[in-house]
């Protein structure tokens, strides 16, 4: 076979591999996408948290895991699509937004994130839970992309989603009242809401419930917490990488590629090179990817297994939430 034959055959082989790949992942991916679309439709028209709907609907379709045709696509959605969603969050953040918050606000956000992770890890050790569950509850869903996989990984992630979504919904209603009781002004309230509520949707809802200015500040503070995923994920990756056997360690990158994409998007977005419509679209795509990933995680986990986690992880989540609210309030009032 001469060079011309090779050049002619190679595209056909590449096309065939792509076709086989798509045929393999299509069933599970389409199911996850359908659940995500149904969840978004219900949330948009009847209210409620989209991620929670996606999770519950996905869990009701757990039987699809037993279908060999759907499993590869579900795995793809729960891992690759999740990482894409986290990477695309960078399109919602600019360095100017972060700098405009001021040094005190940035320090509060940094201290709050670091302290919550430490409390999660310590709580896990005291309550006899795995260290990765403590880190996961302290960082929420995005960190799950780099945590080591084991038989309880999906269950832990789903437990965190349920807890975070439920507690964020309660916080969306109660925290504006709490901020008023403590006499916080609109700027302090925005910092408090963005620095304590876990889910972006509930942060936006609580902030704009008070005023546009409070909503803007709350959203930027929350996005600053999202930006802090960069150092957190790097540290967590290195820690768990060091604990792996040498042959497994080579499979774990020093810095995950999706995290590099996140940083690149933040830098590009900060230069105003991209039109607002494109960055807005990327932000919406990020949200869509996260919904699809949560739907897939729901499919992978059975309700029976979720009920076996016991009361300790619930205590961890509630305790971390109360600690975070108290810490940020203390920083704002002093």
Encoding tokens for residue 57?
Answer: 């609907």
pTM here?
Answer: 0.65
Domain ranges of the chain: 28-138+153-333
| Gap between the Cα atoms of 42 and 40, Å rounded | 6
- Which residues have a Cβ under 8 Å from the Cβ of 33 and sit 6 or more positions away? 77, 292, 295
What count of other Cβ atoms lies within 10 Å of the Cβ of residue 247?
A: 7
pLDDT along the chain (334 residues), means of 10: 50 69 85 93 85 83 81 87 81 79 85 85 83 73 60 70 75 88 90 85 76 81 77 72 52 61 85 85 86 84 65 83 92 87
Calculate the CA 151 to chain-centre distance: 20
Calculate the CA 123 to chain-centre distance: 21
| Gap between the Cα atoms of 65 and 206, Å rounded | 37
pLDDT at residue 329 in the model: 92
What count of other Cβ atoms lies within 10 Å of the Cβ of residue 304?
A: 8
H or E stretch covering 165: helix 153-181
pLDDT at residue 255 in the model: 56
- Which residues have a Cβ under 8 Å from the Cβ of 25 and sit 6 or more positions away? 72, 73, 76
| Gap between the Cα atoms of 210 and 235, Å rounded | 36
User: Helix 200-210 and helix 153-181: axis angle, to 10°?
Assistant: 10
| Gap between the Cα atoms of 5 and 143, Å rounded | 46
């Amino acid at each position: 076979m001469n060079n011309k034959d090779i050049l002619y055959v190679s595209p056909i082989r590449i096309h065939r591999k792509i076709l086989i790949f798509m045929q393999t992942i299509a069933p599970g991916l389409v199911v996850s996408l359908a659940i995500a679309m149904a969840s978004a439709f219900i949330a948009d028209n009847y209210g409620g948290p989209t991620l929670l709907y996606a999770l519950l609907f996905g869990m009701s379709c757990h039987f699809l895991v037993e279908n060999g045709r759907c499993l590869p696509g579900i795995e793809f959605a729960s891992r690759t699509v999740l990482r894409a969603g986290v990477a695309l969050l960078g399109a919602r953040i600019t360095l100017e937004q972060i700098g405009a918050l001021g040094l005190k606000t940035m320090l509060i956000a940094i201290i709050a994130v670091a302290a919550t992770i430490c409390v999660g890890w310590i709580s896990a050790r005291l309550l006899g839970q795995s260290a990765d569950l403590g880190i996961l509850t302290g960082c929420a869903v995005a960190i799950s992309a780099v945590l080591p996989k084991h038989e309880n990984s999906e269950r832990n992630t789903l437990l965190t989603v349920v807890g975070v979504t439920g507690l964020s919904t309660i916080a969306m209603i109660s925290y504006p009242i709490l901020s008023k009781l403590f006499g916080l002004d609109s700027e302090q309230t925005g910092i408090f809401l963005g620095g304590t509520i876990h889910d972006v949707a509930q942060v936006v809802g609580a902030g704009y419930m008070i005023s546009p200015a409070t909503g803007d500040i709350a959203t930027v503070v929350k996005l600053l917490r999202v930006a802090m995923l960069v150092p957190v994920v790097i540290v967590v990756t290195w820690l768990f990488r060091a604990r792996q056997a040498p042959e497994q360690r080579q499979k774990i990158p020093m810095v995950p590629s999706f995290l590099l994409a996140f940083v690149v998007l933040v830098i590009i977005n900060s230069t105003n090179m991209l039109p607002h419509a494109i960055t807005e679209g990327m932000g919406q795509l990020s949200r869509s990817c996260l919904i699809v990933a949560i739907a897939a995680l729901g499919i992978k986990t059975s309700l029976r297994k979720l009920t076996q986690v016991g009361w300790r992880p619930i205590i961890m989540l509630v305790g971390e939430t109360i600690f975070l609210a108290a810490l940020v309030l203390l920083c704002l009032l002093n």
